[in-house]
Amino acid sequence: MRRVITTLAILLVVVVAGMTALVLLVNPNDFRTYMVKQVEQRSGYQLQVGGDLRWHVWPQLSILAGRMSLTAPGATQPMVTADNMRLDVHLWPLLSHQLSVSQVMLKNAIIRVTPDSAAQKPSGAPVGPGDAEPVSSSDNGWSFTISKLRLADSLLIWQQPGGDEYNFRDLNLNLDQDASKQASINLATRISRNQRNVSVNLKGQMNVAQYPHRLVGQLDELNYAIDGANLPTQGIKGTLSGQGEWNGDNQRFSLQKMQLTANDSALDGSAEGRLPQQLNLALHATRLDIDALMANAPVTDSSAPQRANVVSTPVIAEPRMRDNSNSPLNQLDLTLNLTADSSVWRGLTLTNLQIDASNQQGLMTLSKLQGKFGEGHFSVPGSVDIRKPVAQVAFQPELDNIAIAPLLKALELPETLQGTISLQGDVSGAGLSIEEAKRNWQGSADLEATNLQLSQLNLQQMVRRAVARVSNRVTNDQPDDQGIQQLSGRVSLKQGIFSLPDLQGGNSRLAVQTKGNVDMVKQQLDVTINMMLRGWQGDDKLAALLNQQTIPLRMYGGWNNLQYSLPVDDVVRQQLQSEAKSRLNQWLDRQQPAKQP
């Protein structure tokens, strides 16, 4: 054992002495000119290294440098600048005074991928016949030949010609590649823009044999988090994986076998497009929770009272001006094909959701937006124009057998009506939020509702009790039907007022006609339901009158203080007065002949 320890100690002393002698005998500044020439010969880029180069021997033999820059031919700004550079070198080539770099590390670097940092042709240079075509030969440009690259605490500035500038901060990158140009990559960075923060952390592999013309790789995992303005309070977090490809000659990309999670949503599919303004998405979601991805999603609370809540704006608050000028959709050509097995929107659980949509720089067309809700089906094709400060919308909704109560809750209306609804309509207006729809949308629809029930109101029972309070000469002992079996007509919406000009329907024992309006902005209504209740028995004349008489039920006032009037006593009293007057006239007629001589 002592011999082993002694041998290892001797080897360590020899290695340390050899490295010390090497450091003393080899001046790293001798490699400065060599590095500059090698970079220029291989890429055409100009490398500048400031300050003296010095050795660093532990834990890796390295050359340390001060500030450095790398500039493309003809560029007005350097592509890379860094405060510190470290070159890890192989030991044995140094014995023959050769430099072999195993790893490059840059700290506090600034990488510019902008028009100012791109290579430029010299002014007055001749234009060849092939210059108009994309250059795809592997002999043009430069290839990435560094085995290991490390970036720490750096900044990436990315800008397309004529586009906006994006700053990726806190950039940390570990890139390793082998002799066959298979590279592994670990990257972490963040970006802040338009009062939103995005952070990403990814791991993957790439084939860089054809860089910069083509990259093919596997995105093992990308963790991201987004928070800020117009986003949910908890932000949006998730992962992304897939197989990607990048074509640098025409700036096109694709991501296949994509797996994406976003909060409680899980999607798969593919994405392809071209930078900076083309994107095609084909996605399938096993679960899509839209509420968890929206900033203004309603809060589900089953214990809350079923009434509309009026939110008062603080006195010191100013209305927020909505402007679509910063929307990325204004600069994007997008196509979206999405199917979702299960989705949630404003508390509604939807199934078999299908969306086919396209966006042409701010003009969105929804050729298909359909799905199922419960036993019903809906379809809402239309268009959304966000090229103006306030979005302009136009939809053609079609509902078939949709439950009314949960729909009212989703639209932030009182759940005072139960049943199902079917309609075909056409609406348009300004704004996309529920509040803007109530205030600014207008349109009309043909409506048919079935199995309607008013919360805590039994129309037939109300009429029977009102008649009983006035007269006991008639009764109606037939059992109540379950609400209004059918009600149909045309409705309209304008400036927040939902108008019911003439809805007619009923059931086997009750006929109704409804008219009036509902003010959704002021949260008031004034609706009259003209009812004709059949099945009265008892006094023949009064029963016949009630079986043919329309009795109006008027509901009016605020949603939280609703009032109603049911003037049955006026109808019965008028009949009783008419009957009494008729009998008095008959008695007078009988008395007149008896008075003659």
pTM assigned to the model = 0.76
User: Residue 303's pLDDT is what?
Assistant: 41
Q: Per residue in 251-293, pLDDT tens?
A: 899 999 999 999 999 999 999 999 878 999 999 999 999 999 9
The yes-or-no verdict on residue 337 having pLDDT over 50 is: yes
Q: Per residue in 423-452, pLDDT tens?
A: 999 999 999 888 899 999 999 999 999 988
The yes-or-no verdict on residue 416 having pLDDT over 80 is: yes
Rounded Cα distance between 23 and 33, Å, is 19
The mean pLDDT value for 472-481 works out to 70
Residue 202 in contact with residue 184, Cβ under 8 Å?
no
The yes-or-no verdict on residue 465 having pLDDT over 60 is: yes
User: Residue 577's pLDDT is what?
Assistant: 57
The mean pLDDT value for 293-304 works out to 62
The yes-or-no verdict on residue 357 having pLDDT over 80 is: yes
**137 or 244: whose pLDDT is higher?**
244
pLDDT band at 459 (very low <50, low <70, confident <90, very high): confident
pLDDT band at 294 (very low <50, low <70, confident <90, very high): confident
Structure tokens at 452: 């309607």
User: Residue 316's pLDDT is what?
Assistant: 41
User: Residue 61's pLDDT is what?
Assistant: 76
Rounded Cα distance between 245 and 106, Å, is 27
**337 or 85: whose pLDDT is higher?**
337
- Which residues, including other chains, have CB under 8 Å from residue 496's CB and lie 6 or more apart? 438, 439, 519, 520, 521, 522
The burial class, CB within 10 Å (0-12 / 13-18 / 19+), for 132 is: exposed
How does the average pLDDT of the chain come out, rounded? 81
pLDDT band at 497 (very low <50, low <70, confident <90, very high): very high
User: Residue 464's pLDDT is what?
Assistant: 75
User: Residue 392's pLDDT is what?
Assistant: 93
Residue 575: other Cβ atoms inside 10 A = 20
Sequence-distant contacts of 465-471: CB under 8 A, at least 24 apart: 466/551, 466/566, 466/568, 466/569, 467/536, 467/546, 467/568, 467/572, 469/568, 469/569, 470/568, 470/569, 470/572, 470/573, 471/539, 471/542, 471/572, 471/576
User: Residue 449's pLDDT is what?
Assistant: 93
The mean pLDDT value for 393-419 works out to 92
User: Residue 88's pLDDT is what?
Assistant: 79
Rounded Cα distance between 79 and 39, Å, is 14
The mean pLDDT value for 482-487 works out to 82
User: Lowest mean pLDDT: which of 21-30, 268-277, 499-508?
Assistant: 21-30
The yes-or-no verdict on residue 311 having pLDDT over 80 is: no
User: Residue 4's pLDDT is what?
Assistant: 59
**199 or 195: whose pLDDT is higher?**
199
| For the ranges 123-132, 354-363, 410-419, 465-474, the one whose mean pLDDT is highest | 354-363
User: Residue 120's pLDDT is what?
Assistant: 80
pLDDT band at 179 (very low <50, low <70, confident <90, very high): confident
